[in-house]
Amino acid sequence: MSISVIPIQSLKGIGPAKAKLFSKLGIRNVEDLFYYYPRTYKDKSIVTDIAELVPENQYTVRVRVMNKPQEIRSRNGLLMVKTVVSDDTGKLNVVWFNNRFIKNSIKQDDELFLYGKVKVIGRDKVMEAPEYEKASGAESINLLRIVPEYPLTEGLGQKDMRKAVHAALELTEGKLSDIFPEDFRKRYQLSEINFCVNNIHYPESMFNLKLAIKRFKFEELFILQSGLIHIKRMNNAEKNGIAFKVYDEREFKDKLPFKLTNAQSKVLDEIFRDMESTKPMNRLVQGDVGSGKTVVALLAMYKCARNGYQSMMMVPTEILAEQHYLTFQQLLAGTGIRIELLKGSMTAKEKNAVLDKLRNHETDIVIGTHALIQDKVELAKAGLVITDEQHRFGVRQRTVLSDKGDNPDILVMTATPIPRTLTLILYGDLDVSIIDELPPGRKKIETYFIDTKKKERFYGFVKQHLEQGRQAYFVCPLVEESEKLELKSATEYREELQKHFLEYKVGLLHGKMKADEKNQIMEEMRKGNIHILVSTTVIEVGVNIPNSTIMAIENADRFGLAQLHQLRGRVGRGEHQSYCILISDSDSKVAVERLRYMTKSENGFEIAEKDLELRGAGELLGQRQHGLPELKIADILNDTAILKESRDAVEYLYDSGKLDEPEYQKMKKELDLRFKRILEEIALN
């Protein structure tokens, strides 16, 4: 039975006005309703005697109304309806607030079921504002059972939602078609769909509820990973890539001013194997701040150029594009490999000159920002596409870049360490390499957490380092004053710092500046003409000023741990000892715990795991930013076992060929339908 075609308005009691309210919650049909999961449950199935009631707990009681409800006013004018009820073990006072309807709906001697919290006022037990049903015709969907509690919108109550779900369950009773065949359910111990839909909304027992929850968590993660693996296998199976020839890079490696770490060499071997294969490469390289991903990318582009192909590298900011361009020019000097820079702030004449070189194969490597996505950008012989800081680009942008050539290899890089559990979800369509080793000789960045009372002392510490010729960053979360968040703007903060450091130049950098202004500021910083740079998180990615040894982060509690780790990585890039100072007056226990953790760990992957534990996946990375469907019931942090099991199930289906068997055709059809939804959401990003 296709429940996606049954509109919500076809259910009893839902007219046009109420249908609009359901629509606000994303519920337009019965399928949406069934997959709109309760946020919690209340067990109202156990009836307790009045004599057994313990204050501050919630109970269900069966009672008789002893007197007619009375309407009174409190001293502050609050309307109250009071009555006394009893059972064989004692009496209970009951009060409702601002509910005149109760007075006329309950009569003396009525038999009621009540559910609510018990208090003791004076010597009397009191139940305030309880839910109630008449015992003669108690609605089983609201009392005397495990009852669902849903997220709501204004105008819709819990009873409205329960009534709609109950009506939908009656309409479809036993008729839902399961996408999972019976042998598949047995293999992964999954309960049948009709049983699960009933028990996720109206559990017959806590055990049944657990079975239903497991099924829907598995289904959600299974569908998502099916889509991602489907994309990955389509990329690998349906396309013939470029089989790059083996080329001896030792001469070039030997000329580099540093030696590759074992981790870099291992990842490079994985990349080269992909490039030499006939299948297009789709690989993610994860590496902590300063682990040397950029040189790995350069060696991949070097191999591409030596094979007669062009490569392009897209980065999120013009500052980073400029930096890579200058670095690569130096490292490629004398090789004959031609490199160009393409950015949005260039003049039309400058852009056209670069575009002509790309079309005519007069350049081998192009570094750029989003400007590379434009239709005008055409490469004569594209062989490799690299995106740096992938978390800032959507899957769709990566696809647009890959369309610049005939199935070029794709290399994705990020310095944002991501827990393995999240990597499975976010990058399920990519092979993953990890650079888990820092170059030798890098000094530990000393990290401290202080409050604003210690800032004067800290300013003295900064002056000592400025006198030694060093430079410093000061980071603020916002550009403009926000009364709501009470954060100082970067502009005002710069003025304040200039008063403290009169003999030094304090610069300002933020996202609202034009690209030319940003580049000019960074060039002044590189030359040492700016001693302190006040900035927003625009410097989070890739900025490299070896002489900067202090990173001060104001209102540090406003940042996630992973972002703080990125900012900290902007210092510690030269020969001098570097410091990161986290400044916050937060009294939040979680915020303080996070900041204290930063002072103890320099391992980006450990920090990412801690961030995931403390803040959750949604806040940590923002799933919508990645173009992925939002998880409704699964929790990546707590459901790692189900995540792995569902991943194994997807791989089993593809590897065993089960999807081609007759009993799996319904499942295959449904998966195809849901793939389209996933791809549509990805495309919107």
DSSP per-residue letters across 122-151: TTEEEEES-EEEEGGG--TTTSSSEEEE--
The percent of residues in the chain predicted with pLDDT above 90, rounded, is 48
**Does the pLDDT value for residue 474 go beyond 90?**
yes
Tell me phi and psi for residue 282, to 5 degrees. Answer: -135, 85
**Least confident segment among 179-188, 293-302, 563-572:** 563-572
Q: What is the DSSP letter of 47?
A: B
Query: Is residue 64 over pLDDT 70?
Result: yes
Instruction: Name the band, by pLDDT with cuts 50, 70 and 90, for residue 257.
Output: confident
| Choice among 116-130, 181-195, 548-562 with the minimum mean pLDDT | 548-562
Question: What does the pLDDT look like over 499-515, one tens digit per residue?
Answer: 999 999 999 988 778 87
CATH number for the domain whose boundaries are 250-277+292-414: 3.40.50.300
Instruction: Give the model's confidence band at 488: pLDDT under 50 very low, under 70 low, under 90 confident, else very high.
Output: low
Q: Taking residues 635-659, what's their average pLDDT?
A: 84
Burial of 603 per CB tally in 10 Å (0-12, 13-18, 19+): middle
Whether 581 shows a pLDDT value over 70: the answer reads: yes
- If you average pLDDT over residues 22-38, what whole number do you get? 94
Question: From the CB of residue 259, how many other CB atoms can be counted at a distance below 10 Å?
Answer: 11
- Give mean pLDDT, residues 467-491: 72
Nearest to 540 by CA among 517, 560, 520, 515: 560
Inform me whether the pLDDT recorded for 537 exceeds 90.
no
Q: Return the HEC string of 268-328.
A: HHHHHHHHHCCCCCEEEEEECCCCCHHHHHHHHHHHHHHCCCEEEEECCCHHHHHHHHHHH
Q: Is 70 exceeded by the pLDDT of residue 307?
A: yes
432: its two tokens = 């993953």
CB 11 within 8 A of CB 185: no
Of residues 260 and 680, the one with the higher pLDDT is 260
Cα 680 from Cα 227, distance rounded (Å): 11
pLDDT attached to residue 52: 95
Tokens matching residue 343 = 């950015």
CA angle, 612 then 313 then 565, to 5°:
30
Please list, in sequence order, all residues whose beta carbon lies within 8 angstroms of the beta carbon of residue 684, skipping any fewer than 6 positions away.
396, 627
pLDDT at position 485 is 45
Contact 537, 567 (CB under 8 A): yes
pLDDT digits (tens, 9 = 90+) for 187-199: 999 999 999 999 9
In the CATH hierarchy, which fold is given to the domain comprising 446-601?
A: Rossmann fold (3.40.50)
DSSP single-letter state for residue 575: S
Q: Is 80 helix (H, G, I), strand (E, B) or coil?
A: strand
The arithmetic mean of pLDDT across residues 103-131, rounded, is 93
Q: How many angstroms separate the Cα of 111 from the Cα of each of 43, 61, 133, 135?
A: 21, 11, 9, 5
Strand partners, 582: 449, 553
CB atoms within 10 A of CB 171: 15
Which residues touch 541 (CB under 8 Å, ≥6 apart)? 315, 316, 317, 320, 389, 392, 415, 566
What superfamily would CATH give domain 46-144?
Nucleic acid-binding proteins (2.40.50.140)
What was the pLDDT predicted at 140? 72
State the DSSP string of 146-190.
EEEE----TT--HHHHHHHHHHHHHHTTTTPPPSS-HHHHHHTT-
Token pair in block for residue 574? 């030269």
Length of the chain, in residues: 685
- For the chain, the average pLDDT equals 85
Distance (Å, rounded) from C-alpha 172 to C-alpha 117? 35
Q: What is the structure's pLDDT at 685?
A: 44
Average pLDDT over residues 464-493: 75
Q: Are 71 and 81 in contact (CB under 8 A)?
A: yes
Domain segments of the chain as ranges: 46-144, 250-277+292-414, 446-601
Is 376's pLDDT higher than 80? yes
Mean pLDDT of 247-268: 88
pLDDT at 276 over 60: yes
Mean pLDDT for 259-266 is 92
Predicted structure pTM score: 0.64
As given in the structure block, the two tokens for residue 104 are 């006329």
pLDDT tens digit string along 308-333?
Answer: 999 999 888 888 888 899 989 999 99
Q: Which position has the higher pLDDT, 477 or 580?
A: 580
Query: Of the ranges 176-190, 328-342, 356-370, 556-570, which one carries the lowest mean pLDDT score?
Result: 556-570
Mode of pairing for the β-strands spanning 282-287 and 431-435: parallel
What value does the mean pLDDT take over residues 78-102?
Answer: 93
Predicted local distance difference test score (pLDDT) of residue 483:
44
> Do the domains 446-601 and 46-144 match in fold?
no
pLDDT band at 406 (very low <50, low <70, confident <90, very high): confident
144 vs 46, 52, 119, 202, 208, CA distance in Å?
7, 18, 21, 11, 17
Q: How many helices (H) and strands (E) does the chain have?
A: 23, 22
The pLDDT tens digits for 612-629 are 676 555 444 443 334 455
